[in-house]
Structures are given as structure tokens and as C-alpha cells.
Amino acid sequence: MAVTDAQIEYLEDMATHIREDIIIMLEKAGSGHSAGSLGTADIFSTLYFHVMKHDPKNLDWEERDRFVLSNAHICPVLYATLAEAGYYPKKEIMTLRKLGSRLQGHPHKGALPGLEASGGPLAQGLSIAAGMAMAAKIDARRSRVFCMVGDGEMNEGQVWEALMFISKNRLHNFTLIVDRNNIQIDGFTEDVMPLEPLHDKLTSFGFHVIEVDGHNIRRLIEAFEETIFEKPKVLLAHTIPGKGVDFMEFKPEWHGKPPNKEEADKAISELEQLRSLGGKITGEHE
């Protein structure tokens, strides 16, 4: 089904709201991961407000689609998305990382509605998501499972264990999103521990691999909708860390730090000026 310009515009607006929430909550928290959170906002908007079948009012709905954030340190983007989707009151984003908050520094399943798994130690979410996809297959449920991993996270051996399992069991209800932003804590991924040729690696593991601009919502929707029978899918999503906030983009130092008050104000005013482009321009990756 063709996606209308109005739908794209709505999703882009939502991504901007998510980015604003991220800036606000990180500034308030005083610690946390800015770059990856901002860089994936378009993907989260697309998933939760267009692609996924879910209901914030019916958390135990068995047929729901599930999303697991394996690179769980970028949870501000997930928390912001869940708040925008109505899983919990939005004012609670101000409590991120504070004593007694349901918004733990890394997600705690059971603490906050909408969290499908706990996370933090990298690669664990991917195995958990694989288990969910397997259970759905055994029960012949039509729910799909989406999982995001960071590219640096793919240094972990468990990632490849899980990929082999998903491929072996032909979990075609499974979609992996790789946040390919080329940056990890110690520098560029290709310097720290080269992943390339990543596309070929994933293909050889039995996945249908789609490279996509992680900021082009129209392309993201197309990629999510593309299906190859009996093959699990990977969206190799090229993203810009810090996307949407000019002074954060492409800067590794923003991986693990929050903006201060002044920086947050500047970021918010930048985000307010973002106008929807209706998917009319494609990213620099195409």
C-alpha cells in the first residue's frame, strides 16, 4: 500500500518529538547516551507509529508485534517513543535515571509498560528476540519480532550465535535492524574491530539484507514491508549519530554524554526549526 505524504509528514514530526523528548530527558538526567538515541529516532517513529502491530492499552496481547532493544544504552529513544505512544505518562520522562524511577539507566522489563526485555550487556537482546520469534513460530502466532543492535555491538560473539539460530530456524517473522552509525566508544567501528564487509557477512549467515538510509522514513517503510519468503531480514540502517542536532552529528564524544542546559536549549531550538521534508530528499547514503 502506497504511503501518503501526509503519513510521512506525521512520522517525521513524531521523530522530531521523540528527539525533543530525548534532549529534555537526558539534560534532566545529567548522564546517558545522546548520539545513538537521536540517530535512531526516525526508525523508532517508523516502527511504533506505522509498522508494528501493538496496543499500549493491551500489554499482554499475544498477537502483538514485539520490539527488543539490544543496544539498550540508547534507551532514551525507546522511552521517548513509548511515552509518545501512550504506554506511560509523558511527564515521567523527567525521571530518567533518578532514584525510584521506572525509567532505569538501562531498561528493566517489568518496571515500565511496553518494555519487552531488560538490556544493557550487549548482544543479549538479540538472543531474547530470537527466542520470542521461535516461540511465535512454535505457537503459530502471527506476531513479528523486531530487534535493534548497534554496529559496535556486533563485536560480541553472542550476536553471531543468535544470527545462526535465527537462520537455522527460518524465523521469517524476525527483522533485525542494525544501527550502522560507524561509531563506538573507542572510535570508528572499522578501526576498533572491522565489521566490513557487513552486508556480505549477514547475507552469508542466511539473511535477506536491505541497506537503507535510516533517516528516510519512506525508504524505511519500504524496507520493513519487503519480505522474502522463509528468510529472516536485516535492515542495515545507515544512520548519523546525533542526527537532528547539528553540533552533535558525527561527533563520537556525544556517544555517552548528555547535553547541559545551554546545549539542550540550543538543540531544542534546532529541532523546532526542522521542517518535514515529506521524504522528498534522500539521504547521503543513497
Residue 127 Cβ vs other proteins, minimum distance, rounded to whole Å = 2
The answer to whether 216 and 203 have CB atoms below 8 angstroms apart is no
**Beta carbons within 8 Å of 7's beta carbon, 6+ residues apart:** 50
Closer CB to other proteins, residue 129 or residue 248? 129
Q: Is 139 in the site for other proteins (CB under 8 A)?
A: yes
Q: How far is the CB of 122 from other proteins (least distance, A)?
A: 10
Choose between 115 and 221: whose C-beta lies nearer to other proteins: 115
Scanning 155-163, 219-227, 245-253, 255-263 for contacts with other proteins by CB under 8 A, the matching segment is 155-163
Q: What SS3 state is found at 73? A: helix
By the rule CB under 8 A, 113 interacts with other proteins: no
HEC profile for 45-113?
Answer: HHHHHHHCCCCCCCCCCCCCCEEEECCHHHHHHHHHHHHHHCCCCHHHHHHCCCCCCCCCCCCCCCCCC
Using CB under 8 A as the binding rule, the residues of this chain from 69 to 108 that contact other proteins are 108
Tell me the C-alpha distance between 40 and 240, whole Å. 8
DSSP class of residue 48? I
Q: Name the residue among 177, 170, 175 with its Cα closest to residue 138.
A: 170
Minimum separation from the CB atom of position 178 to other proteins (A): 18
| Residue from 24, 80, 129, 271 in contact with other proteins (CB under 8 A) | 129
120 or 278: CB nearest other proteins: 120
Sole window of 78-86, 87-95, 156-164, 236-244 interacting with other proteins (rule: CB under 8 A)? 156-164
Number of residues near other proteins (by CB under 8 A): 33
Distance of alpha carbon 153 from alpha carbon 70, whole angstroms: 8
The site for other proteins (CB under 8 A) is made up of 62, 68, 108-110, 116-121, 123-136, 138-139, 157-158, 161-162, 164-165
